[in-house]
Amino acid sequence: MNFIVLKDIFKSYGDTSVLRGLNLEIQKNDFTAIVGKSGAGKSTLMNILGLVEYFDAGHYYFGETEILSGRDYSHLRSNQIGFVFQNYNLISSLTCKEYILLPTLYSKCPPCDVYNLAQMLDIEHLLSMPVGVLSGGEKQRIALARALVLKPKVIIADEPTGNLDKDNKNIVIRLLTHANEDGCAVVLITHDYYIASNADKIFELRDGILHEKYL
Ligand SMILES: Nc1ncnc2c1ncn2[C@@H]1O[C@H](COP(=O)(O)OP(=O)(O)OP(=O)(O)O)[C@@H](O)[C@H]1O
Ligand SMILES: [Mg+2]
């Protein structure tokens, strides 16, 4: 059964029409990668999927729930979705551990073991440091740990490997694959076909719709 269904989704900003009748179906165990040129609308699509932005027209089903404009979906966002933003705004005064545990403030779900998660991402030595002093790649891994801490049903990751070297890219991919094998759907945006090739399905976002790619 499909877990997420987008049907004929339209989204514009003023005169800029970004999504033009986009369709996407995601099942619980899917690992989906989305590629596309800069400005194609990938982050717009992620923000809609992650219930951060509304769409103008079309239908979006998240599990049993039809998503309707103007309603509050913070309960779904905090309990079921792990979101890794492209432009991660990390609150700099928090320690890494506090930052990773932030989602637990708004949720009754039990978190996973932060130290264990940090070890898998090779950031355990950073846990007591303020987030503000970290390098770009370290911040990216902290942001991923935060997205994973509540074991979400879907991870929506917008360029989670953009700032990383090859070893750290592999760490991130291994972790996402691990979460996916544990039953979490993964939707990943990337410019990098090496990263995309880890997914079960690859789509290119072009002209406001998704085109499946067969590598
Ligand atoms: N809040 C906004 N207000 C106005 N225009 C926007 C807004 N968000 C995005 N856009 C425009 O929508 C288009 C798609 O932007 P989007 O960020 O989704 O692209 P992208 O595919 O993620 O690009 P990149 O690969 O560079 O991150 C761009 O032309 C952008 O300028
Ligand atoms: Mg983007």
Secondary structure (3-state) at 1: coil
Question: How remote is the CA of residue 73 from the centroid of ligand 2, in Å?
Answer: 22
> What's the structural domain count of the chain?
1
| Model pLDDT, residue 62 | 96
| Model pLDDT, residue 136 | 81
194 close to ligand 1 (CB < 6 Angstrom): no
| Model pLDDT, residue 172 | 87
- In the numeric block, which tokens belong to residue 27? 């099942």
Best mutation site among 16, 86, 205 for ligand 1, i.e. most ligand atoms within 8 A of its Cβ?
A: 16
Contacts of 2 (CB under 8 A, 6+ apart): 25, 26, 27, 61
Give the pLDDT of the chain (215 residues) as one tens digit per residue: 789 999 999 999 999 999 999 999 999 999 999 999 999 999 999 999 999 999 999 999 999 999 999 899 998 998 899 998 776 666 678 999 999 998 888 777 787 889 999 998 899 999 999 998 988 888 888 999 999 999 999 999 998 888 788 888 888 888 899 899 999 999 999 988 888 988 999 999 999 999 999 87
Question: How remote is the CA of residue 161 from the centroid of ligand 1, in Å?
Answer: 19
DSSP state of 130: B
Question: How remote is the CA of residue 51 from the centroid of ligand 2, in Å?
Answer: 16
Residues facing residue 60 across a β-bridge: 6
34 close to ligand 1 (CB < 6 Angstrom): no
| Model pLDDT, residue 36 | 94
Secondary structure (3-state) at 175: helix
Q: Cα–Cα distance between 37 and 41 in angstroms, integer? A: 9
Query: Atom 17 in ligand 1: which residue has the minimum CA distance?
Result: 43
Secondary structure (3-state) at 101: helix
Q: Are 175 and 143 in contact (CB under 8 A)?
A: no
| Model pLDDT, residue 213 | 92
| Model pLDDT, residue 89 | 65
Range of the domain at 128: 2-213
In this prediction the pTM is 0.92
| Model pLDDT, residue 88 | 64
Ligand in closest contact with the CA of 38 = 1
Of ligand 1's listed atoms, the one at least distance from the Cα of 46 is: 18
Best mutation site among 15, 34, 42, 191 for ligand 1, i.e. most ligand atoms within 8 A of its Cβ?
A: 42
104 close to ligand 1 (CB < 6 Angstrom): no
| Model pLDDT, residue 97 | 94
| Model pLDDT, residue 199 | 94
Of ligand 1's listed atoms, the one at least distance from the Cα of 86 is: 27
Q: Are 118 and 142 in contact (CB under 8 A)?
A: no
CATH number at residue 147: 3.40.50.300
| Model pLDDT, residue 87 | 67
